[in-house]
Amino acid sequence: MSTILDGNAVRDQIKNECRPRVEAMVSRFDRPPGLAVVLVGDNSASQVYVRNKTKTAGELGIYNETITPPASISTDDLLGIINELNSRQEIDGILVQLPLPKHIDAQKILLAVSPAKDVDGFHPYNAGLLATGREGLKPCTPAGIVELLKRNHIQIAGRNAVVVGRSDIVGKPMAFLLLREDATVTICHSRTKDLPAVCREADILVAAIGRTGMITADYIKPGAVVVDVGMNTVTDRKQAEDLFDATRLAAFEKKGSLLTGDVNPKDMARLASAYTPVPGGVGPLTIAMLMRNTIDAAERRCS
pLDDT of residue 105: 97
17-21, 169-173, 205-209, 245-249: range with lowest mean pLDDT: 245-249
Q: What backbone torsions phi and psi does residue 263 show, to the nearest 5 degrees?
A: -110, 140
- 53 catalytic per annotation: yes
Cα-only R_g, the chain? 20
Question: What's the angle, vertex CA 37, arms to CA 34 and CA 38, rounded to 5?
Answer: 140
Percent of the chain with pLDDT over 90: 98
Least confident of 184-188, 244-248, 272-276: 244-248
Going by C-beta distance under 8 Å and a sequence separation of 6 or more, which residues neighbour residue 254? none
Which is catalytic among the residues 92, 117, 118, 120?
Answer: 120
pLDDT of residue 4: 98
Residue predicted with more confidence, 155 or 44:
155
* Predicted local confidence at residue 245, as pLDDT: 92
Residue of 92, 97, 138, 203 with catalytic role: 97
Q: Using pLDDT thresholds of 50, 70 and 90, give the confidence band for residue 286.
A: very high
Domain ranges of the chain: 30-115, 140-283
Query: Positive or negative CA dihedral for 142, 147, 153, 156?
Result: positive
Query: How does DSSP assign the chain, residue by residue?
Result: -PEE--HHHHHHHHHHHHHHHHHHHHHHHSS--EEEEE--S--HHHHHHHHHHHHHHHHHT-EEEEE---TT--HHHHHHHHHHHHH-TT--EEEEPSPPPTTS-HHHHHHHS-GGGBTT--SHHHHHHHHTT------HHHHHHHHHHHHTT---TT-EEEEE---TTTHHHHHHHHHHTT-EEEEE-TT-TTHHHHHTT-SEEEE-S--TT-B-GGG--TT-EEEE---EEE--HHHHHHH--HHHHHHHHHHS-EEE-SB-HHHHHHH-SEE--TTTSSHHHHHHHHHHHHHHHHHHHH-
Whole-structure pTM value:
0.95
Alpha-carbon distance values, 75 to 114, 121, 123, 223 (Å)? 17, 21, 18, 49
Residue 107 to residue 204: CA distance in whole angstroms: 32
Q: What is the pLDDT of residue 1?
A: 79
Q: For 85-100, write each residue's pLDDT tens digit.
A: 999 999 999 999 999 9
Say which CATH class 140-283 falls into.
alpha beta
The answer to whether the CB of 50 falls within 8 A of the CB of 88 is no
Mean per-residue pLDDT, 58-80? 98
Distance CA 145, CA 238 (A): 31
Give percent of the chain with pLDDT exceeding 70. Answer: 100
Q: Name the burial class of residue 247, with classes exposed (0-12), middle (13-18) and buried (19+) by CB atoms within 10 angstroms of its CB.
A: exposed
| Class level of CATH domain 30-115 | alpha beta
120 is catalytic: yes
pLDDT tens digits, one per residue of 14-28: 999 999 999 999 999
- Dump pLDDT digits (tens) for 217-247: 999 999 999 999 999 999 999 999 999 999 9
| pLDDT at res. 102 | 96
Region 77-85: mean pLDDT is: 98
Mean confidence (pLDDT) of the chain: 96
Q: Is 267 a catalytic residue?
A: no
pLDDT band at 7 (very low <50, low <70, confident <90, very high): very high
- Predicted local distance difference test score (pLDDT) of residue 45: 87
